[in-house]
Amino acid sequence: MHMPRIATMRARRTLSVTDFRKNPSRHMADAMGDTLAVLSRNKVEFYAVPPALFEALIDRLEALEGSGR
């Protein structure tokens, strides 16, 4: 019997693409700094990440690349 693969959710908050499209700025403000998983047909289509978090992630990646890893 084949078991379906369960995807890991990388966000605490989710909403549909349709809802996100109506007012992305409001949804990001309502998330209060959290990442949003935007779903299409109950699958993650993309993650909406606040600018400060995105910049911190990029800084961390650049630091890791610079350390020779």
pLDDT in tens, 8-35: 778 989 999 999 999 999 999 999 999 9
Token pair recorded at residue 67: 């350390």
| pLDDT 10s digits, 46-58 | 999 999 999 999 9
CA nearest neighbour of 36 among 23, 21, 57, 50: 50
* Positive or negative torsion for Cα 31, 13, 57, 25: negative
Q: What is the pTM of this model?
A: 0.79
Strand partners, 68: none
What angle (nearest 5°) sits at the alpha carbon of residue 37, between those of residues 31 and 42? 135
What contacts 59, CB < 8 A, 6 or more positions away? none
Pick the CATH number of 13-66 from 3.30.2000, 1.10.10, 1.10.3720, 3.40.1620: 3.40.1620
